[in-house]
Chain A
Amino acid sequence: MAVVLLVEDDAAVREGLELALRRQGHVVHAAGSGELGLEILAANQPDIVVLDLMLPGIDGFETCRRIRAGGDLPIIMLTARSDDFDIVAGLEAGADDYVGKPVEPRVLDARIRAVLRRVGSERADDKSGPETHGDLLIDRAAMQVSKRGRTVSLTPTELKLLLELSRTPGQVYSRQQILSAVWDHDYLGDSRLVDACVQRLRSKIEDVPAKPVYVVTVRGFGYRFGRP
């Protein structure tokens, strides 16, 4: 189904997850460290990275940042401790989603598929032309966003979030609504995923991220796409 790069330092966990993901139909490249993971990444061009945060050498956060610096590859992090600090730090480093350890292979598989679906879901049902919102040009069919003629590089999750919000500008979406629409998460989705992704999206499309005009916070409820 997908080419997965699995970065996990514990050999048994790595082997177990590799086996489980292969059985779900994925092609798995496994790496025992962040450095090795980055090497495999360059050579094999996976569709998605599953990244453990506790790694020897360069840790998961740093690996995550380096992958982000090189492109918009989707990243799902594995949080050994379900400590809130790790989750927030991982999301800030650029992860698209997270799965708490011990990992249920079925949950991980569902998350991988959900992330990858974000890339493909728009094209089929969209026949409208590019839309202009202020300085932003959103082309749903081409899955492209540009600002003042310059292409904005977005991860699939960020793109999907922008497409969802901009579909009905002015409408307020709650975090739970956004979670189920963008992340395909169940009723217990972590609303911090939305907040972290909104922050990243703002840093890419807003002139002044601290004073957003496109993705506007509606205090106590959620977000809406503004009309600049």
Chain B
Amino acid sequence: MSPLRLRSWLSGLRPRLVASFAVVTILAAGAAAAAGYSIARTTILKGVQDQTVLQLRDQINIYLPTMTLPPSQAALDGFARSLTGDVVAVYQGASRSRTGIDLTSVPAQLRREVATSDRMRFMRVDEGGTPVFYAGIPIVMQGADGVVKPSGLEVYTRVSLTSQQAAIDELATWAWRTAALALPFAVALALLAARQVLRPVRALNTAAGQLGRGRLDVRLQVKGSDELAQLVTTFNNTAAELERTVGTLQSMEADARRFVADVSHELRTPLAAMNAVTDVLDEDAGQLPPDTAVAARLVSSETRRLTRLVQDLVEISRFDAGRAELRLEEVDLATAITDSLTARGWTPGVDLRTELPPGIFATLDRRRLDLVVANLVGNALRHGAPPVEVRLRVEGGDIVLEVTDHGPGIREDMLTQVFDRFTKADTARARSEGSGLGLSLARENARLHGGDILAANTGSGARFTLRLPRYHRIKELR
């Protein structure tokens, strides 16, 4: 996984949910373990302390009546020996029993407290990792007068808590293990929850993507009644509304286009009749009275113009209806382009210069190529100024045909509009010889081949560049 994808994955809902669940679980389990540990530890340690202290007190109480103050060294030793454990007996801080713990190891604070107190004191200290329990007991005596007073006799004992600590440690380990065991469950639970939330979210995401790509009929099944279900319902309603609106617009546009197609078809039959007799009018005009002759010639020429316009309309409505088809064949371009030019009476010379290298073959529709060449060159001859240059070359997998004139060029703001239907590049000339559809048709034909036509200014005229893929693979066709 790349760093970027990893980052986007990490910022997703699922890892966030998993992390939240894990943190909560760790905190809860940790708190429970810590509390349990603390209580258990206190209980265990207190048990040991209480036992030690009670035992000592009982033994002291038994032995004490036999003691006289100040005690002799032997008495002190005997006293200490009579007590269970590692016990030292101290008298007035100066003499001590010969057995028992080293007094210097007893915490100074404990000794101070014992010295100033009449009650038992104890303290837990850590001696190099080993927990140790020190207890100090100041011994009080009831004097003859019945008053209880410190006897100056103190007893200290030291109990190692190693085994208890081990038990406590084991407890802690188990507490942590239990907490750790809960973690996978928490993660699994988080994944499950994430799945439940994410499944509808992902379905929505896929559906929204399809909607964006134009699949307006996409709908989702509403499950449950939570916020996600509401979101799905909203999505469905939006998609339905969008589909309805787009459907209306599309049918309106289709109606408009069909109307143009129908009108063109209807116009074609009367025009066919008129077109059939234009030659008759032209041929006989010379024998008619002058006014009638002018009228006849006008009717004849305008009928031809109208016929061309209707033919172009029919042609372009075929593109609109998606019924334009390519009839591909291997074409020798230099020959085909020369044929197109000569068929229209455009012979290379001073006004028309051609640069058509022989031997360039391409797979395309001859009729459509002819139409494009005729439109581009015709347009250059009509609107530009001579010389018009027609240049053919191969560029990578494309063939490129440039038609350049030396006229005033095209206004910059018109460069993209020249291909629009009925656009007149020169508004002063309201009517031109063309139908106003020539360049639109040329571009539709180029695009049908998977190519395009671009318009540009050279600085000394306009240039139209036709680019077509040289080898059209059949399976790429619609």
Q: Do A and B come from one complex?
A: yes
Chain A interface (Cβ < 8 Å from any Cβ of B): 10, 12-13, 15-17, 19-20, 23, 80-84, 101-106, 175, 186-188, 191-192, 220
Give the complex CA separation of A210 and B13 in angstroms: 65
Q: A13 touching B273 by the CB < 8 A rule?
A: yes
Identity of the chain B residue whose Cβ is nearest the Cβ of A24 in the assembled complex:
B279
Q: Is B367 an interface residue, CB under 8 A from the partner?
A: yes
Residue of B at shortest CB range from A22?
B280
User: Among A105, A187, A191, which residue has its beta carbon within 8 angstroms of that of B339?
Assistant: A187
A191 / chain B contacts, CB cutoff of 8 Å = 327, 329
A186 — which chain B residues lie within 8 A by C-beta?
339, 343
**Is the C-beta of B336 less than 8 angstroms from some C-beta in chain A?**
yes
Does B107 touch A at the CB level, under 8 Å?
no
Q: A74–B435 Cα gap in the complex (Å)?
A: 36
A13 touches B280 (CB 8 A): no
Chain A residues with Cβ below 8 Å from B274 are 12, 16
Point out the residue from A15, A102, A105 that lies within 8 Å of B268, measured CB to CB. A102
Interface residues on B, range: 20 to 34
Residues from chain B with Cβ under 8 Å of A15 in the complex:
273
B366 touches A188 (CB 8 A): yes
List of B residues within 8 angstroms of A105 by Cβ: 276, 279
Residue numbers of B with Cβ under 8 A of A are: 265, 268-277, 279-280, 283, 307, 310-311, 314, 323, 325, 327, 329-330, 336, 339-340, 343, 366-367, 370
- Whether B277 pairs with A102 at a CB distance below 8 angstroms is no
The 3 closest A-B CB pairs, nearest first, are A16-B276, A12-B273, A187-B339
Given the interface contacts A187-B336, A187-B343, A220-B330, does A101 sit within 8 Å of B370 by beta carbon?
no
Find chain B residues with CB under 8 A from A104 CB. 275
Report the minimal beta-carbon distance from B379 to chain A, rounded to whole angstroms.
20
Q: Shortest CB–CB separation between residue B321 and chain A, in angstroms?
A: 11
Chain B residues in 8 Å Cβ range of A13: 269, 272-273, 276
Q: CA of A13 to CA of B270 in the docked complex: distance in angstroms?
A: 7
Smallest CB–CB gap between B285 and chain A, Å?
14
Instruction: Judge whether A102 and B272 touch: CB under 8 Å.
Output: yes
Q: List 14 A-B contacts (CB under 8 A).
A: A12-B273, A13-B273, A16-B276, A20-B279, A82-B314, A83-B323, A84-B327, A102-B268, A103-B276, A106-B279, A186-B343, A191-B327, A191-B329, A220-B330
Q: Is the Cβ of A19 less than 8 Å from the Cβ of B277?
A: yes
CB atoms of B269 and A10 under 8 A apart: yes
Using CB atoms, name the residue of chain A closest to B340: A187
Q: How far is the CB of B269 from chain A (nearest CB, A)?
A: 5
Most chain A CB atoms below 10 A, which of B268, B275, B330, B340: B275
Instruction: Report which residue of B273, B327, B370 has the largest number of chain A beta carbons within 10 angstroms of its beta carbon.
Output: B273
Chain B min CB distance to A21 (Å) = 9
Q: How far is the CA of A83 from the CA of B280 in the complex (A)?
A: 29
Closest to B339 in A: A187
Measured CB to CB, the closest approach of chain B to A9, in angstroms, equals 10
Q: Nearest-CB distance from A165 to chain B (Å)?
A: 19
Assess the A101–B273 pair: CB atoms within 8 A: no
Docked Cα-Cα span, A113 to B230, in Å, equals 76
Q: Which residue of A lies closest to B315 (CB)?
A: A82
Q: Distance in Å from the Cβ of B334 to the closest Cβ of chain A? A: 12
Max chain B Cβ within 10 angstroms of own Cβ: one of A12, A80, A220:
A12
Report the separation of the CA atoms of residues A1 and B153 in the bound assembly, to the nearest whole angstrom: 158
Whether B268 lies near A20 (C-beta < 8 A) is no
Q: Once the chains bind, are A102 and B275 in contact (CB under 8 Å)?
A: yes
Do residues A23 and B280 form an inter-chain contact, with CB atoms below 8 A?
A: yes
Chain A residues within an 8 Å CB radius of B265: 81
Chain A residues with CB under 8 A of B269 = 10, 12-13, 80
